[in-house]
Amino acid sequence: MKKIEAIVRPHAVDDIREALLEAGFHGMTIMEVKGVGRQKGHTEVYRGAEYQVDFLPKIKIEIVVPDERVEEAVSIIIKCAKSGKVGDGKIFILPADDAIRVRTEETGDDVL
Amino acid sequence: MKIDTGDTTWMLVSTALVMLMTPGLALFYGGMVRQKNVLGTIMQSFVALGVVTVQWVLIGYSLSFGPDIKGVIGSLQWAGLNGVGLTPNPDYAATIPHQAFMMFQMMFAIITPALISGAFAERFKFSTYLVFVLLWSTFVYAPLAHWVWGVGGWLRSLGALDFAGGLVVHISSGVSALAAAIIIGKRKGHGHEHMPPHNLTMTLLGATLLWFGWFGFNGGSALASGALATSAFLMTHIAAAAATLSWLVIEWKHRGKPTLLGAASGAVAGLVAITPASGFVGPLAALAIGVGAGAVCYFGVNIKNFFGYDDSLDAVGVHGVGGTFGALATGLFASKAINAAGADGVFYGNPSLFFIQLLSVAVAIVYAFCVTWIILKVLDWTMGLRVQQEEEVQGLDLSQHGESGYIF
């Protein structure tokens, strides 16, 4: 069982959700985040006062999948999020020990 | 004396229009501060409706327009609106109830101290602010209003022209704003923390309400309905439009992008500058004043960076600079062909008007700066001007008022 954390451009998130659900993944969590990376920020000017805005808005998607489906999920995310320009985001894959469904207290891959 | 219903109607409508400018200013300023200070900033404008109305009824109107004492101040004979009734006072406006004139002037007295609050936004203690507004209205606004507009006032007798308050409203508030910004000091984190406006849509709505209300501010200053009110109304609109464009174009050239905040600022700058001139100049002069105002105030808001004071929302750069420009421009462009009760300016063969305007501007600047300085120093020693550091970090909304502007 692996947790995938994908940080992507905000506009890509609907495509990713649709493609993942269509492929049979049952759920995910997203959050609005800000980050700084190789994609530089921009400058804003208000009545002559200049601000360098480094942190840009991104969406972070978290999804936990069975080991054998990690590659599939990652390729779906990449397919939807990739524009080829700096700022497309990053994907991290982390081990997940277990998963528990609160309603029934089931555990393991069946929960995902 | 017969009351003219048309004149009275227009003056009541104008009074309501000018009243709307104060909440308009609240939104204009409120959008420019950080989210944690939005209510505190809006409150500083809105509460002036309360404080100044009471002050005006009790003593303010009498000190400003009451029976003259040696050209310097009105007597307290009209305190509590004693004798200010429904029959016209021909010294000021012969065709409308005296109370209509009083009430119209009240709205000017309300918005003027609120304009100053832009200079010390995001750090002024609310309790001290209330006392400041009271003292400022009494010791700065009332004498200046009397000198320029009161029967027997010495600047009025000298022939200085100020149709709707370039001196009394804009120079006085702008210069007081400078004194305030210097005395209270910079916001915590100024210069290295980001302090961008939190809601420019709110600012634009505020600027629009100011523009709308300004038709009453200037058009109503004719004190009657008819030709002069129409002319002042039109000049107001022309100058605002021209200044919107000129600020935008200069900013575009200078900074690379035309901003909405720039358009809103330009509009207000044009409105400020046309205020003293609106009843004395024609359309092309209004156009020139508007174009000039956008340019002059664009540079006006940048001088603070050079001198290093934190005029947070540019009360000095827009009202001080724009008001001064407008008062001097009146000395250039005024024409008796527009308003026979006015005077000719430099371009109509009367250079002396320009010097009278220059003198009146200098007097207003020196008087407003010095007296505001004294009031603020006294308040600083007694009540303290500034919120505690932790309160400033927390924001005025929570620390001064115990509420938040936005709960999502």
* pLDDT tens for the 408 residues of chain B, in order: 799 999 999 999 999 999 999 999 999 999 999 999 999 999 999 999 999 999 999 999 999 999 999 999 999 999 999 999 999 999 999 999 999 999 999 999 999 999 999 999 999 999 999 999 999 999 999 999 999 999 999 999 999 999 999 999 999 999 999 999 999 999 999 988 889 999 999 999 999 999 999 999 999 999 999 999 999 999 999 999 999 999 999 999 999 999 999 999 999 999 999 999 999 999 999 999 999 999 999 999 999 988 999 999 999 999 999 999 999 999 999 999 999 999 999 999 999 999 999 999 999 999 999 999 999 999 999 999 999 999 999 999 999 999 999 987
Which CA distances in Å does B264 have to B46, B118, B141, B314? 20, 15, 27, 13
Instruction: State residue B305's pLDDT score.
Output: 86
Which residue of B255, B260, B298 to mutate against A (max A Cβ within 10 Å)? B255
Closest Cβ–Cβ partner in B194, B257, B265 for A47:
B265
Q: Does B201 touch chain A (CB under 8 A)?
A: no
What's the domain count of chain A? 1
pLDDT tens string B288-304: 999 999 999 999 999 99
Check residue B186 and report its DSSP letter.
P
Closest Cβ–Cβ partner in A44, A48, A51 for B301:
A48
Q: Which residues pair with A59 in a beta bridge?
A: A8, A32
Instruction: Please tell me which residue of chain A has the smallest CA distance to B263.
Output: A47
Q: Does B197 touch chain A (CB under 8 A)?
A: yes
Across the interface, whether the CB atoms of B255 and A51 are under 8 A apart is answered: no
Q: How far is B362 from chain A (nearest CA, A)?
A: 27
Closest Cβ–Cβ partner in B194, B257, B261 for A47:
B261
Q: What is the CATH classification number for the domain harbouring A99?
A: 3.30.70.120
CB contacts of A49 in chain B (<8 Å) are 195-196
Instruction: Please tell me which residue of chain A has the smallest CA distance to B259.
Output: A46
Query: Which residues does A contribute to its contact with B (CB < 8 Å)?
Result: 44-49, 51, 53
Q: Which residues pair with B89 in a beta bridge?
A: B93
Closest Cβ–Cβ partner in A46, A48, A53 for B197:
A46
pLDDT tens string B85-106: 999 999 999 999 999 999 999 9
What global pTM score does this model have? 0.91
The two three-digit tokens of residue B83, written as one number: 């004798």
Instruction: State residue B113's pLDDT score.
Output: 98
The two three-digit tokens of residue A40, written as one number: 């530089």
Query: Where would I find the beta strands (DSSP E) of B180-257?
Result: none
Average pLDDT, chain B: 97
Q: Is the dihedral of CA B283, B286, B288, B291 positive or negative?
A: negative
Which CA distances in Å does B20 have to B44, B274, B351? 15, 19, 38
**Which structural domain, as residue segments, surrounds residue A107?**
2-111
pLDDT tens string B110-167: 999 999 999 999 999 999 999 999 999 999 999 999 999 999 999 999 999 999 999 9
CB contacts of A51 in chain B (<8 Å) are 194, 196
Closest Cβ–Cβ partner in B194, B259, B305 for A51:
B194
- What ipTM was predicted for this assembly? 0.76
CB contacts of B194 in chain A (<8 Å) are 51, 53
Across the interface, whether the CB atoms of B259 and A51 are under 8 A apart is answered: no
Structural domains of chain B, ranges and CATH numbers in brackets: 5-399 (1.10.3430.10)
Instruction: State residue B332's pLDDT score.
Output: 97
Q: Does B191 touch chain A (CB under 8 A)?
A: no
User: How far apart (Å, rounded) are the C-alpha atoms in residues B323 and B165?
Assistant: 9
Nearest to B112 by CA among B145, B84, B68: B145
